[in-house]
Structure 1
Amino acid sequence: MGSMGGSTVENIGTENGHASAADDGVSAAARADHKGKAVATATALPLEVGTRVMCRWRDGKYHPVKVIERRRTQTSEPGDYEYYVHYTEFNRRLDEWVKFEHLDLDSVEMDVDEKVEDKATSLKMTRHQKRKIDETHVEGHEELDAASLREHEEFTKVKNIATIELGRYEIETWYFSPFPPEYNDCVKLYFCEFCLNFMKRKEQLQRHMKKCDLKHPPGDEIYRNGTLSMFEVDGKKNKVYGQNLCYLAKLFLDHKTLYYDVDLFLFYILCECDDRGCHMVGYFSKEKHSEESYNLACILTLPPYQRKGYGKFLIAFSYELSKKEGKVGTPERPLSDLGMLSYRGYWTRVLLEILKKHKSNISIKELSDMTAIRAEDILNTLQNLDLIQYRKGQHAICADPKVLDRHLKAAGRGGLDVDVTKLIWTPYKEQGDSGDALHNLRTNLNDPNNVLQSWDPTLVNPCTWFHVTCNNDNSVLRVELYSNNISGSIPSDLGNLTNLVSLDLYLNNFSGPIPDTLGNLSKLRFLDLSNNHLSGPVPSNGSFSLFTPISFNNNPQLCGPGTSHPCPGEPPFSPPPPFVPASPSPTQGGNSASSTGAIAGGVAAGAALLFAAPAIGFAWWRRRKPQEHFFDPKRIPRFIWVKGLLKEKKLDMLVDPDLQNNYVEIEVEALIQVALLCTQGSPVDRPKMSEVVRMLEGDGLAERWEEWQKVEVVRQEVELMPHRNSEWILDSTDNLHAVELSGPR
């Protein structure tokens, strides 16, 4: 197995210019200055945290360090301590544990005030050297204030993992990563390079590899060109993989926040492929829905694969995705110094190549449309290159070919090219139509009670919103906004909710027409638009044929079928036939004949009430064929509402206005009582059909109703009693965390 750790760190030091001869001179001068200071003749051991001392680095030279932490070794001798030190000239990625013998005790100096230390340090360096050290020291923390920066450095001051094994490489880590507590004592972790599960021991990894059936990241391959492949991994579908990737990336990224909630992100994993599988080279992540048009949140090239052009490839790839989406993009802010250099190099190369080929006038907006680069980034890049001049009252781009060539040469090579013909990708839009439709509904509405506050379009899908119910496939099934004092119009986009089963907008202040696109909802089985201020004709297309006047009741300005008002230009509605009681049969008594009529009419009307039929009127509905309509057993508020109307003797609200008061109120009351008895929660409490027939005949209904009323009073008293909270932990799959060989997350 090749070891990449040492060479990686050394390359970084050279890259930042800290291993040069000039810098060695600074170190020697600093060491001499330290030795010239007044130090204690007898250094107290062990060294205290915060002590300044000279330390021999792996290049064999001494550099000033600060002791960050200490720990005992196996023996108990004073000198048998290890010290975690920060090389004050270098980036924090070079912090490490060192042995006691690497320290020069003659240079020991206790920690002094930071301002004094900074002033003293600045006297020992040239202006150029100090600027380079300051840049590397604060790299990536521009978004943190002084207090937050100190808190961040305190929490992450000691690397908890020294090395990792990933595939055929052993890599030295750079920074702290918040692994689960059970991994705090591990000096080395072993990663499966395909599923990214991590283990404490080599034996665990070997056992895991025999069972792991993955040979590539668990996502969709969206790009392949030769041996390079790109995989798109959904953080919601592959949560454990996304979290493990964040743990891994944090070992090499100091300034990025670690996102535990990976559901909101897509990860694009770049791989080198061979006969053994697809091996991760690096990745970038992006939010599924970004209000700021960010097309990249975090980017990393693993140390063994750096300096091969992969970082530039990832940046270019993120912009190709933005072009596919038809949007302009920009990386998440703030950018570190190195990040800004990388992006400015990409922007320079792309923009100047276009300016070289483009002979006529071109605007910033046109450049943005061609490249998917945000206009502000284009303007800043061209201004930084002094290519924008102010002429005749407006800004103009100066595109002299020689100047462009000089800037292109300074920008360096572009790295690996992205062959867009090899990109097979569809922009992410999980339940987008549903989310857009409901968001448009919210946009069109006045919501004085803030009941739609949770309708956040930046979330993955609308299934987490209040008043919205989804199935296991995250398809919207129900939208229930009844009795919320909401006003506004109903958007036609609701017709895009193709799986919608129930739409309840009852008792609000909706106005305007009913969109006929609701008729396209073939699965819609419950619709209640009653008690609003809707106007215009009631559509008759598609699923509207299933619904009866009760769905549109108490909207005075509605007209057409299902209302009591014909639309302008239509013939007036003919009144329903009057109710005529059946005459007694010669072979049966009058009571029997009347009871027979009551049975037929009562059963029909009872079924109509149970299944949201349009009217309760006895005689009228006896002549109609009952229709089956969707009934939601969870609609408890409507059940209570019907009982309230019965108690308050407001039965006219349940009767079709087309009946024009041509019904018997006592019979309607009896039908409602029977219907309520038949819709009790437990089947044991519901009457049998033979009992229903007898009650409709007038036999036993009063007694059964009185008995049920007593039971209801007792049940309500029980529900009002305070219940002691259970201390048991419910066993639910909703509370389980994904557990792999790497342990619980």
Structure 2
Amino acid sequence: MSLKMELVLTVLILACLQSFVLSDYQGDALYALKVSLKADQLADWNPNQVNPCTWSNVQCDTNSNVQHVVLPGNHITGEIPTEFGNLTSLENLDLANNSLTGEIPSTLGNLKVLQFLTLSQNLLTGTIPESLSSLPKLISLQLNSNGLSGQIPNQLYQVQKYNFTGNKLNCGINLSQPCASKNEDSGGSSKPKIGVILGIVGGCAVILLLGGFLFLCKGRHKGYRREVFVDVAGEVDRRIAFGQLKRFSWRELQLATDNFSEKNVLGQGGFGKVYKGVLSDNTKVAVKRLTDYESPGGDAAFQREVEMISVAVHRNLLRLIGFCTTTTERLLVYPFMQNLSVASCLREVKPGEPILDWPTRKRIALGTARGLEYLHEHCNPKIIHRDVKAANVLLDEGFEAVVGDFGLAQLVDVRKTNVTTQVRGTMGHIAPEYLSTGKSSERTDVFGYGIMLLELVTGQRAIDFSRLEEEDDVLLLDHVKKLEREKRLDAIVDPNLTKNYGIQEVEMMIQVALLCTQSSPEDRPAMSDVVRMLEGEGLAERWEEWQHVEVTRRQEYERLQRRFDWGEDSVYNQDAIELSGGR
């Protein structure tokens, strides 16, 4: 009997170990890449985190499967690890314009859903693995400008876009197969005359010189490229360096939104309306149609969101699918969030529809905090949202928080103070220093996040004039502070929760919210601290300190109020004077 029990325990332990290993294979594969490529700049690729979906330049699906690894032009060296063959959900691998050496691992043939493989402009040698021929969904293969040699597997010539130029492979003018597909090769089938070639070369040289001069004059101080976008047929835009964003045609989005019908409007913000759309393959999308593209803010906002999309890739941030530009239009395309926003789920619930229960609200609070933490502390340059509110936190099919509209915020260099000429945000959510000075920082977002927490707890708006009827404060923050001082926590909580919550958890969330909404930005916690407090670490100490400061501030306020009270004259000890009728 004892022997049987030991055998059972051994099997269970092995099963647990196998489960752990399986859950960790993606992180192992990516960390092997970091070690192999000597990519010191990937500081946030932490081997202690099993889920790599929060790492920079890595994008996952809703099930935390790695779909995109995009690292072009990062000056990384070393060999591509064989472990990459374990990323079986990978759709896009882009390691172009680096200094990779060694051979292309044959294990890449295991990536059966891979669509884009870009290894161009490296120092790769050896042959092209035959296993790449077995990738059924491959539509773009870029291996140009390496040191590859030998035979090209015949099946790879069937790939929609391929480029083998700049290698020692069996392709080219004197061989049966071209080194690049037609849509990669700008040359014709007939041999042009020498004069035409010289003319083209000379013209290109002049254009390059002029382009280089303009780039040095206008863009040398920037860390990323500016592109001039024009409307073309829908396709993947290869000029966007950090991700596979689809370029949609105007007609495609016009059809998807029923000619931008008002019945498809999901909402309207400072940059324009958002429409629900259905693409030709029945994919539901949200199309943001920018209305102020002619102003510096509108067009610049569009450029920023397109160019910086790969910097801000996180499971709690809204992913940009693609874009469209014409001479008169700028549009952004996002996944459609079927559960809309936190605000709509709190305040637009129809009879019979389920409400957001307390565990979901806690999960939303933590997910939003993690998304903002990523924007502030893992993006370079960091991204300030400037309009954090319940309406800008969307909910996916699993009611996970997805922060939207962050790409339209101004990107801040870590060495500079962000002073804006236009305050963007929503009254009731705007931090006092931002409203009065126009200076925003990550602590401005912390204030907005604190107000959003109060929205989650109470279900109320940040500003509500109907509270005047009950002689309460118009601002939600002042209303909650008053009830908190009176220890009336039950009166704070959304009545729709019908007592189905833990009062200690409510108290903890209110405490975090009040710490985030302190009047002085220096006193507010960083978003990384907010995440830790929501996870139960370090809140008690901060709250005790806040209470001491708040009591002192309150006493001083009341003292001044008594001193300047118009209802009595303490100097002459006279009775209050009752004014006659209205004047």
Q: Same fold (TM over 0.5)?
A: no
Greater share of strand: 1
Using CA pairs below 8 Å that are at least 6 residues apart, which structure has the higher relative contact order?
2
TM class by smaller structure: 0.3 to 0.5
| TM-score with structure 1 setting the length | 0.26
